[in-house]
Amino acid sequence: MTAGHGTPLKILYFAWVREKTGRASEDVVVPQGIETVGDLVAWLKARGPEFEAAFARSDVIRAAVDQTHVKPTSLITGAREVAFFPPVTGG
């Protein structure tokens, strides 16, 4: 499974991102034109109020593509999995 051109992409949601979306994971077919993590977030936000709420503070949400931490400008082309999670806090 690789992202792009109608191929499913596994998306994982953790902590409050999971709570707000109401799901831990899903397989989605990413539309053409969605090339970066930031593009994916924008597309997810448009999918409904639960996603809009989950990604309302997208500037603080961290992402990993195929288990490697990445920036919002990172490409998802060829990715099999994208995970979203809030920053880790604690002492």
Asked if the structure places residue 91 within a domain, the reply is no
- The structure's pTM equals 0.89
Asked if the structure places residue 48 within a domain, the reply is yes
Q: Which residues contact 40 (CB under 8 A, 6 or more apart)?
A: 11, 30, 34, 76, 82
- Residue 91 has a pLDDT of 52
Q: Where are the beta strands (DSSP E) in 1-91?
A: 8-13, 25-29, 62-65, 68-70, 81-85
Q: Which residues contact 46 (CB under 8 A, 6 or more apart)?
A: 52
Asked if the structure places residue 3 within a domain, the reply is no
The domain spanning residue 62 has which CATH number?
Answer: 3.10.20.30
Determine the structural domain holding residue 72 and report its residue range.
8-85
Asked if the structure places residue 67 within a domain, the reply is yes
Give the pair of three-digit tokens for residue 15.
């902590």
Give the pair of three-digit tokens for residue 71.
């920036």
Asked if the structure places residue 2 within a domain, the reply is no
- Residue 3 has a pLDDT of 56
- Residue 89 has a pLDDT of 63
Question: How far is residue 87's CA from residue 46's CA, in Å, rounded to a whole number?
Answer: 23
How many domains does the chain fold into?
A: 1
pLDDT digit of tens for each residue in the chain (91 aa)? 445 556 789 999 999 999 999 999 999 999 999 999 999 999 999 999 999 999 999 899 999 999 999 999 999 999 999 999 988 765 5
